[in-house]
Amino acid sequence: MVDLRRGVYLVLPVVIGIDFISRRARLQSIAADILSVEKALEELIISQRTEDVLVMKLVMEYNCLVAGGLSTSDRFYKKHRATIQREWEAVHPHTLEQPESSAGGMAPA
């Protein structure tokens, strides 16, 4: 019984290390792919090409890459929410602008 327990304690760090390294490699690969999709979208904007097929292909590819990443736990998000918001605002300031309400429209929720 003691030998089995000792064997588990010896193998467990190796298994955790391999899992950590494989997740890190996967996330680095996904991050590189996401950057390439974002670059392609920016090139479409600059060239003013708005062909629906190209745009939808890139958006679909981006969504698939993001969905393939690791999910963020609620606990982590709540703890780092202010930092995430600050970083988002620094990179995407235009997304925080409130749309102007129309004369007969409803007030924003």
Asked, for residue 16, whether it belongs to a domain, the answer is yes
What domain range is 53 assigned to?
A: 2-94
Asked, for residue 25, whether it belongs to a domain, the answer is yes
Classify 64 in phi/psi space as left (phi over 0), alpha (psi -120 to 50) or beta. alpha
Counting the structural domains of the chain, the total is 1
pLDDT per residue as tens digits for the range 80-103:
889 988 887 887 777 655 555 444
Q: Do the Cβ atoms of 70 and 23 come closer than 8 Å?
A: yes
Asked, for residue 104, whether it belongs to a domain, the answer is no
Asked, for residue 67, whether it belongs to a domain, the answer is yes
Asked, for residue 50, whether it belongs to a domain, the answer is yes
pLDDT, residue 15, reads: 92
Name the pTM for this structure. 0.53
pLDDT per residue as tens digits for the range 35-69:
898 898 888 888 887 777 888 888 888 888 888 77
